[in-house]
Amino acid sequence: MGDIVKIYEDYKDRADFLTVYVREAHPTDEWQMKSNVKEDVCYAQPHTLGQRLAIANDFVKRFKYTVPFGVDDMSNAANDAYAAWPERIYIVDETGRIAYRGGMGPFGYHPEEARAWLASRFGPVTHSEAPTVPAKTGI
C-alpha cells in the first residue's frame, strides 16, 4: 500500500489513479493470516454491499489513504473482468487499452513495475528523504 501511495504522489499530475476495493483476501471466516490478527485487521467476508463499504471506509480512514478510491459491487464485476483478486495492478493507456498488466498478488504484485512504466513514459521521480515503512496488510 505504501508503495502505491508514493507512486500516486509522484505521478498524480501526469496520470490518473483508481483503487478498486474487491472481495476480502483473508477474512476471519476464510483464510485468516496471523499478520492480520497482529495488526487488528479482522473482518468476515462481506455478504452485503453495506458490509463491504464499511470495511473499505475503515481502510481509507485508518491509513488516511489518498489515492482515488472505488468499491466493486457485490456482483464482483470489476474483479471478474480484471481477474483482480487478491490484488493486481493494471495501467490503461489513453486509447483505453491495457498498457501494463501486473501479476496476481501476492507473489506477482509488483508496484515497482507500474512505477517503471510511468518512469519510462514521464521520467523517473527521485526522493532524497529516508523511506517510510509501509503497512504489511491491505492494498
Partner 1 sequence: MKRFWKWLLGGFGALLVAAFIFLSWMAGSPKDAYGMVRYAFPHMHRGNLRVGDDAPDARILQLDGETRFHIRERTGARPLVLVFGSYT
* Binding positions for partner 1, 89-118, rule CB under 8 A: 89-94, 96-101, 104-105, 114, 118
Size of the site for partner 1 (CB under 8 A): 73
Whole-number Å distance between alpha carbons of 101 and 34: 29
Distance of CA 121 to the CA centre of its chain: 21
Asked if 17 is part of the footprint of partner 1 (rule: CB under 8 A), the reply reads: yes
Range 42-81, binding partner 1 (CB under 8 A): 43, 49-50, 53, 55-60, 67, 69-73, 77-79, 81
138 dihedral zone (left: phi>0; alpha: psi -120 to 50; beta)? left
Please report the sign of the dihedral spanned by the C-alpha atoms of residue 13, residue 20, residue 61, residue 39.
Answer: negative
CB of 74 to partner 1, least distance (A): 10
The residue among 4 and 130 lying less far from partner 1, judged by its C-beta, is 4
